[in-house]
Amino acid sequence: MSKENSAISKDVAFGFLPAQKSDRVFGFWDLVLIQVGIGISCICILVGGYTGMLLSAKEAIASILFGNALPFLLIAPIILLFARYGVDTFIGFRSALGYLGSNIFYFIFMFLTIGYMSIAFFMAGQALVKIASVAGLPEFFTTRTTGAPFFAIIIFAIVFLITFQGPLVMRKFNLIGVPAILLMTLGIIALLMFGQGLDKIFSLSPAEPYADNTRSLITALEINIGLGFSWLPYLGQYSRLAKSEKSAFKAGFFSYGIIVNVAVILGALAALVVASLDPTDWMFAIGGSWVGIIGLLLLTLGNITAGTFLMYSQAISFKTVFPKKSWTIAMATAIPTVLLLLSASFYDAFGSFITVISYIMAVFGGIVISDFFFVKKQKVSIRDLYDTNGSYYYWRGVNPSAIVSFIVGTIAYWSLYNPVLDTSSSLFYYISAGIPAYFAAGICYYISAKHVFSYSADRGISKSALPPKSNDAV
């Protein structure tokens, strides 16, 4: 077996089996560096860009800090499940969702990751279009309608080849890619601070606000809430390897809840200064020709790196959920990304996409937090997590309480805000939509699990300990 395939096999086993004490090697700063490296990406910059197009600098910063930190604080406690039991996201969530339900959640995660990958690749494609224009290449390569999809698909192919080789090749490439995105972020911050000045930036008005400033504020807040909730499926991948529960929780909140906001704020300020949502426009406008080209190259490298992180995360999670499937099939789950790269339509609809993610992850966040802390009181059976006929089988592999709660959370969110049509109720102006959906789903789950379905797992009883032919639900 080659070193790459051996490394993949180890990662699969490492992701599927509970991490032992000797496996838990990450301290606080280890986790912070890893999670910040993953979290500071084009997605954060683009969320900031949307915010900066709607709000002034002061309002944007407040919206970003509150919008990202509060929802992450609401889901961050689930980190303790992974750190305590050493299990991956899609193993740990079986206790709340059921075996089949957790697999369904994986496919929702796959939809999220495919969306994020398409954003990263198309942004990189647009960066290369700008470089091609400066280089004087033919029109096919310099227009957004043809050049950006062409370059984006090539970048997808490059990322696919890198990721397919496994973690050893990825780690070598990421030694270049991670510093690239960090250098670009710090460079733009420096250019904004010293080239424009804080006084000028804070005096600017947003380019595309709603007629009602309150609507601009709450819409920007909802977009940032979406980013905060979107980290939910990624929390188990590294927290399970933490040396302690305390360090895992602190590192998660410090990185995803606080430091990652630097990239979001950067995007907001850049969008304000340049009056454009497109990060590829910012480079030339802020830094000039040569700095712009260097910035675009760094942006491309950073997006390739983000793509490898995302693609590998999706493939290795697929192998965790379906360990008997081949690595080729696991990698093939990324191919639908190409369909979203054929035009700019999905990229331009990023605002709607991130708010749909807010809805989905807010609802699931409420369910899993309610299950682990209030229903099961932080007591989960490792044996039943892995026994697909165990206590977490519930009803045909799905937890009815989770189904009912998802429906209630969905009604709560869409009654307040329709992210596809960008329409809202009057109540949306005061309470947003993602956070109320989180609480609606969580409260409903508790009532349902305790007083409606009340399975043995909800009462802290392992199915293996029950007498034969006992009725599991009452």
SS3 417: strand
pLDDT reported for residue 16? 65
Does pLDDT of 472 surpass 90?
Answer: no
Distance (Å, whole) CA 111 – CA 309: 15
Percent over 70 (pLDDT), the chain: 91
pLDDT reported for residue 466? 47
* CA 30 distance to own-chain centroid: 20
Q: Which of these ranges, 121-130, 136-145, 308-317, has the smallest mean pLDDT? A: 308-317
Does pLDDT of 468 surpass 80?
Answer: no
Asked if 64 and 264 touch (Cβ cutoff 8 Å), the reply is yes
**Residues with Cβ within 8 Å of residue 64, at least 6 apart in sequence:** 48, 51, 224, 261, 264, 265, 268
Q: Which helix (H) or strand (E) holds 307?
A: helix 279-321
pLDDT tens digits, 45-94: 889 999 999 999 999 999 999 999 899 999 999 999 999 998 888 999 99
Cα Rg of the chain, angstroms: 22
CA dihedral for 201, 207, 212, 218, sign (positive or negative): negative
DSSP per-residue string spanning 269-281: HHHHHHT-S-HHH
* CA 188 distance to own-chain centroid: 23
The mean pLDDT value for 114-137 works out to 92
**Residues with Cβ within 8 Å of residue 434, at least 6 apart in sequence:** 71, 222, 225, 226, 229, 355, 358, 359, 362, 413
Band of residue 3 on the pLDDT scale cut at 50, 70, 90: low
Band of residue 462 on the pLDDT scale cut at 50, 70, 90: low
Distance (Å, whole) CA 341 – CA 189: 29
The mean pLDDT value for 204-212 works out to 92
**Residues with Cβ within 8 Å of residue 176, at least 6 apart in sequence:** 301, 305
Asked if 101 and 402 touch (Cβ cutoff 8 Å), the reply is yes
pLDDT reported for residue 269? 93
* Mean pLDDT across the chain: 87
**Residues with Cβ within 8 Å of residue 326, at least 6 apart in sequence:** none
pLDDT tens digits, 389-420: 889 999 999 999 999 999 999 999 999 999 88
Does pLDDT of 36 surpass 80?
Answer: no
Does pLDDT of 41 surpass 80?
Answer: no
Does pLDDT of 351 surpass 90?
Answer: no
Band of residue 474 on the pLDDT scale cut at 50, 70, 90: very low
pLDDT reported for residue 263? 86
The mean pLDDT value for 92-114 works out to 93
The mean pLDDT value for 197-215 works out to 91
The mean pLDDT value for 316-324 works out to 84
The CA-based dihedral angle spanning residues 110, 115, 116, 117, taken in that order and rounded to the nearest 10 degrees: 90
Does pLDDT of 7 surpass 60?
Answer: no
The mean pLDDT value for 126-154 works out to 93
**Residues with Cβ within 8 Å of residue 63, at least 6 apart in sequence:** 51, 55, 217, 220, 221, 224
pLDDT reported for residue 283? 81
270-300 b/e with 16+ CB inside 10 Å = b? bbbbbebbbbbbbbbebbeeebbbebbbbbb
**Residues with Cβ within 8 Å of residue 197, at least 6 apart in sequence:** none
166 against 191, higher pLDDT: 191
Q: Which domains does the chain have, with CATH numbers?
A: 25-360 (1.10.4160.10)
pLDDT reported for residue 151? 96
The CA-based dihedral angle spanning residues 266, 268, 271, 275, taken in that order and rounded to the nearest 10 degrees: -150
The mean pLDDT value for 15-44 works out to 77
Band of residue 216 on the pLDDT scale cut at 50, 70, 90: very high
Does pLDDT of 287 surpass 90?
Answer: no
Percent over 90 (pLDDT), the chain: 55
